[in-house]
Structure 1
Amino acid sequence: MLKCDLHIHTSFSRDGESGVEDVLKKAEAAGLDVIAITDHDTTKGAIYALGIDSPVLVIPGIEISTRQGHLLALGITEEIPKGLDFFETVRIAKELGALLILPHPYHQWRHGVGIKLKTAISVVDAVECFNSRYIVGAANKKAGRKAKFYEKPCVAGSDAHNARFVGYGLTLVDADKNVDSVINAIIAGKTEVRGKMTPLRAYTHQSWRNTKRKISGRVHKR
């Protein structure tokens, strides 16, 4: 079973705090076999990581901001425009051959697609049933229930925006250590979910930092 963290941000994300090298070093130190780098609306971090020599396998990916919320697309290096309708984004991503995961689908303040689109879960390949960046676990539990109802595989992700928390969301995948094998195993449901919560102080610190950044941006636009 490979130890995988399938939802990680680097400094290539607008709110990422750690460089790609630091993320890879922490993944290795945490005993991970595989990570997916899924920066917000860009694959530049993932592409950069693919050029670094590391014992940790990198699955390139992207967290796309659709009109109704976020979508993870793994196994691609192409960028998909943000702001499109969710189902149009799914269509484009599938044409590119991406593995599609619905991240934090029922979180009210984290762009959860499942809140706005009840049928969204039916068109993805897997559901993030454990996201470590929750103050309480209710939304994770709901994701797990919905995944079971729709017969979708469950995965986990740290959603780390700082290298310290890489590995906090852990997916065990019964696969060989290559991208195609991992992706096919996830689709086949050969996964187990583990994890622990990101400390509240770290989560609130980043939320406050992002809020200040947004306010500053609005002020400068005036």
Structure 2
Amino acid sequence: MSSRVDCHVKVLDETVVERATRAGLDVIVYAPHFQRLPEIRETATRYSSDELLVVPGREVFTGPWSNRKHVLAIGLEEPVPDFITLEAVMTEFDRQDATVLAPHPDFLNVSLSPADLRQYRETIDAVEIFNPKHLPPHNRRARRLAEELELPPFTSSYAHLPSSVGVAHTTFETAIESEAELCEAFEDDAPRQIVRSNGLDRWLTTTAELLHLGYENTWKKAERLFLSGTEPTHPDHIAYDGRFDDAAVY
């Protein structure tokens, strides 16, 4: 028995669930920006069903806004804030024995660089080799990095828009019915296939997602949302009890 997994979506509502089910997905990883783990987990539980498992994830923004490096974790037990150093994030993921994925590697200023991938090769469980937000050269570079470092691959829709769900997924040759089983599949390098659309749907998705990226990454939005110290995933937030003060970049 196999399982079709969209390893990274940013949005979750009834429309997303409907699209995922219609696309034949069995699992989606829900990892929205700038929400704390308890809220993500609660939302994932609310939208999970016998037909579709929703696994909570955290894509942590490490470093400053101008050079942020995204790292995706599954299987976290405790919240990890954004805008702390990459070293601190990886240390915390190790401490929690989380499953660590490298989304959209070496893409713009939002990703782990080749040097980062080499440095944390023993911590990273898989590298994304196809992302519909990428142009073909980005995907080819990501695939080369995974092959050179001998790191297992994955793909996702990386859906910031509901219409993107179903464009790409990873098919594991094993049944995945829980968060723990998904973590195990990644950590044990379970056999898998990368499945993606190459037709009109893919290019419409690429266009829409890149336009959304331009909106999402304005400095005005960053300043308004993330630098005041009161947002849920800011390291100064009371929820973190000062644990990450020394690692904060803002």
Q: TM-score range by the shorter chain?
A: 0.7 to 0.9
User: Which of 18, 21, 39 does residue 28 from structure 1 map onto?
Assistant: 21
- Does the residue aligned with 2:184 lie in a helix, a strand or coil? helix
The answer on whether the counterparts of 2:118 and 2:149 sit within 8 Å (CA) in structure 1 is no
Aligned to 1:210: 216
Deviation at 1:23, TM superposition (A): 1.9
Aligned mates of 1:118, 1:185 — CA distance in 2: 20
Report Cα offsets for 1:28-86 as digits up to 9, x if no partner: 12110010001123232342121235221111101100115000001235321111221
Aligned to 1:181: 181
The answer on whether the counterparts of 2:157 and 2:164 sit within 8 Å (CA) in structure 1 is yes
Q: Closer, same or farther in 2 for the Cα pair 1:22/1:49, shift >3 Å? A: farther
Aligned mates of 1:217, 1:154 — CA distance in 2: 31
The answer on whether the counterparts of 1:39 and 1:63 sit within 8 Å (CA) in structure 2 is yes
Deviation at 1:194, TM superposition (A): 1.6
Aligned mates of 1:180, 1:52 — CA distance in 2: 18
Deviating above 4 A after TM superposition, structure 1's stretches of 4 or more consecutive aligned residues are 216-221
The answer on whether the counterparts of 1:35 and 1:59 sit within 8 Å (CA) in structure 2 is yes
Aligned to 2:44: 49
Deviation at 1:206, TM superposition (A): 1.1
Task: Give the TM-score taking structure 1 as reference length.
Answer: 0.83
Deviation at 1:21, TM superposition (A): 2.8
Q: Closer, same or farther in 2 for the Cα pair 1:20/1:151, shift >3 Å? A: same
C-alpha RMSD of matched pairs (Å): 2.5
Q: How many residues of Structure 1 are paired with residues of Structure 2 in the alignment? A: 210
Paired letter, 2:16: V
Q: Closer, same or farther in 2 for the Cα pair 1:169/1:150, shift >3 Å? A: same
- Does the residue aligned with 2:32 lie in a helix, a strand or coil? coil
Deviation at 1:219, TM superposition (A): 8.9
Identity across aligned pairs (percent)? 24
- Does the residue aligned with 2:113 lie in a helix, a strand or coil? helix
The answer on whether the counterparts of 2:127 and 2:153 sit within 8 Å (CA) in structure 1 is yes
Aligned mates of 2:150, 2:29 — CA distance in 1: 23
Higher mean displacement: 119-128 or 148-157: 119-128
Aligned mates of 2:142, 2:162 — CA distance in 1: 25
> Where do 1:68-217 residues align within 5 Å?
68-76=68-76, 78-109=78-109, 111-114=110-113, 117=116, 119-120=118-119, 122=121, 123-134=123-134, 136-178=135-177, 179-189=179-189, 190-196=191-197, 197=202, 199=204, 200-210=206-216, 214-215=219-220
The answer on whether the counterparts of 2:13 and 2:47 sit within 8 Å (CA) in structure 1 is no
Unaligned runs of 5+ in 1: 11-18
Aligned mates of 2:74, 2:151 — CA distance in 1: 16
Unaligned runs of 5+ in 2: 228-250
- Does the residue aligned with 2:47 lie in a helix, a strand or coil? coil
